[in-house]
Structure formats: C-alpha cells, structure tokens
C-alpha cells in the first residue's frame, strides 16, 4: 500500500518539503496495522527491521525496572505523527519496546527503504535525524522536570506537554485530552508510585486546575496549570 498522507503532513510540521521529496515519499510502500491495548508494536529485537509512524492513538516506550522486574519504566510517549524506532541501529536490552496504550494504528515502513530515501534526499535524511534529536530533547526536559518539580507540579508538567503535543496534531482541543492511560502508567512515566500519582492528581483537582476521570482529562485552568508546572513548550520544537 502507498504511504499515507498522515506521514507527510506530520513531517511538514517540522520542515518544508520540496516537490521531489514529496513525490519520493509518496512512492514509499507501507503497511497499516491496528493494535489492541497492551500489545507490543515493536519489540526490542525489532525482527522485521521496520520503522513505524503512529497514525492514531498512543504508544509508550517501556523498559523493565532494574530491581523489580515486574514493574516498568516509560521513557517516551508517541502520538499521531510521531516516528517510532526510526533508527534501528541501537542495541537495546530484550525487555524494552514500544507498547500500545489503548487502541492504536501504526503505519510501518521497512528500514532499508527509509535508508534508501534518506540516501537519495539529504533533506529528508536531515529531517529523520532531527526527529531523533527532538525525541531526545523531550526526554531531557523530562529529566529536568523530574529533578525540578515534585508531585502535582510534575504531573501538571506532563499534562501541559501532552495537551500541547496532542493539540498540535489535532488530537485534542478545547482543553480536553483523551488519554487511554491508568494512574499506574502515569507513575511509570513520572517515576512515582501509583498511589503518589493519585495524591498528585487530587492536589490538582483540589486546586481547581484539572479534572481527570477515567480516560478523560479536562484542563480547567490552563494558565494556572502552566504556571504551576513552569511549562515552556519551546523544547517540543513545534513550528506552529
């Protein structure tokens, strides 16, 4: 199947594409796959040598906790338009991978073919490379937030980032997010226990900033939330 316009539209969030580049991208062959909640989208082995682009839904990069192997650590989140495992040249431990959070739909491209496109169009190579760099920059900001903010301010920062990212691709609006994610999974992102996430969420509720019921998160006071989280979206490198 030909590659979807999603892919192209999301690339254009970051950089203008020439006519030749557009044409070459449209000639890529791809395969769309739907995933159920909790399924592995790409395992650490990445046997098929594939890269993926999120079309719908949400996915997380999970690692095994080093001391309690039954719990996990999440080091990245991916939404519509985000690349996943684009590179494929990093050796990863056998217990990390990309997991679908809720239902999701992913478009796969063979890595060889991407490398081929990158070789033909240096501008696209640069764009793919930039994607990896932005992913790393988001992680850096997570680390800065983790050491700078605690409890509810830290959770507020996550909500600010997620709303900004989702709104930028039209997957959220009017200060409402749909996050198919449990408190336990938020804990795996922030490095807290699930119970502490619950307390942080209660604090945001008590302050009248956020209402979080089930998978629906409603931001009641965007300015107040940003202020508490000291949120500055520039690290997301969004053009709009």
Partner DNA sequence: CGGCAAATTGACACATCTCAAAGCCTGTGG
Partner DNA sequence: CCACAGGCTTTGAGATGTGTCAATTTGCCG
Q: Which two tokens stand for residue 31?
A: 């395969």
CA–CA gap between residue 176 and residue 219 (Å, rounded): 6
Checking DSSP bridges between strand 72-79 and strand 50-64, what pairing results, if any?
antiparallel
Nearer to its own copies, 140 or 199 (CB): 140
Write down the H helix ranges in 121-221.
122-148, 152-168, 183-190, 194-206
Q: Residue 136: which of DNA, its own copies, none does it interact with, CB under 5 to 8 A by kind?
A: its own copies
- The conformation of residue 105, written as its DSSP 8-state character, comes to E
Q: Specify the residue, 90 or 213, whose C-beta has the smaller distance to its own copies.
A: 90
Torsion over CA of 164, 88, 48 and 125, rounded to 10 degrees? Answer: 80
Select 196 or 226, whichever has its Cβ closest to DNA: 196
Q: Is 230 in the site for DNA (CB under 7 A)?
A: no
The per-residue b/e assignment along 59-75, b for 16 or more CB within 10 angstroms, e otherwise, is bbbbbbeeeeeeebebb
Q: Does 69 bind DNA (CB under 7 A)?
A: no
Please name the residue that has the structure tokens 């009641």. Answer: 220
Q: Which of residues 174-213 bind DNA (CB under 7 A)?
A: 182-184, 191-196, 198-199, 201-202, 212
Whichever of 1 and 133 has its CB closer to its own copies, that residue is 133
Binding partner of residue 8 among DNA, its own copies, none, CB cut-off 5 to 8 Å per kind: none
Task: Provide the binding-site residues for its own copies, judged by CB under 8 A.
Answer: 61, 63, 65-68, 73, 75-76, 87, 89-93, 115, 118-119, 122, 125-126, 128-130, 132-137, 139-140, 142-149, 191, 230, 232, 234-235, 237
How far, in Å, CA of 72 to CA of 181, rounded? 14
From the list its own copies, DNA, none, which binds 214 (C-beta under 5 to 8 Å, kind-based)? Answer: DNA
159 is an interface residue for DNA by CB under 7 A: no
The DSSP symbol for 239 reads -
Bridge partner residues of 193 (DSSP):
none
Residue placing its CB nearer to DNA in the complex, 26 or 230: 230
Q: Which residues bind DNA (CB under 7 A)?
A: 68, 150-151, 154, 182-184, 191-196, 198-199, 201-202, 212, 214
């Amino acid at each position: 199947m030909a590659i979807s316009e999603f892919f192209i539209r999301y690339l254009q969030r970051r950089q203008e594409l020439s006519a030749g580049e557009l044409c070459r991208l449209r000639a890529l062959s791809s395969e769309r796959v739907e995933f159920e909640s909790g399924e592995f989208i790409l395992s650490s082995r990445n046997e098929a040598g594939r890269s993926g682009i999120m079309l719908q839904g949400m996915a997380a990069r999970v690692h095994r906790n080093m001391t309690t192997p039954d719990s996990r650590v999440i080091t990245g989140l991916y939404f519509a338009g985000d690349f996943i495992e684009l590179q494929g040249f990093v050796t990863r431990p056998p217990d990390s991978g990309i997991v679908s959070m809720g239902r999701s739909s992913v478009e796969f491209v063979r890595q060889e073919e991407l490398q081929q496109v990158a070789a033909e169009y240096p501008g696209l190579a640069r764009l793919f490379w930039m994607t990896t760099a932005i992913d790393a920059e988001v992680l850096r900001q997570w680390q800065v937030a983790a050491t700078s903010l605690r409890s509810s301010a830290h959770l507020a920062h996550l909500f600010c980032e997620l709303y900004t990212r989702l709104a930028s691709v039209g997957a959220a609006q009017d200060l409402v997010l749909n996050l198919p994610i449990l408190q336990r999974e938020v804990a795996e992102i922030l490095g807290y226990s699930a119970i502490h996430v619950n307390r942080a969420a209660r604090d945001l509720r008590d302050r009248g900033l956020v209402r979080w019921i089930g998978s629906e998160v409603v931001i009641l006071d965007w300015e107040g939330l940003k202020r508490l989280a000291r949120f500055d979206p520039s690290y997301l490198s969004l053009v709009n």
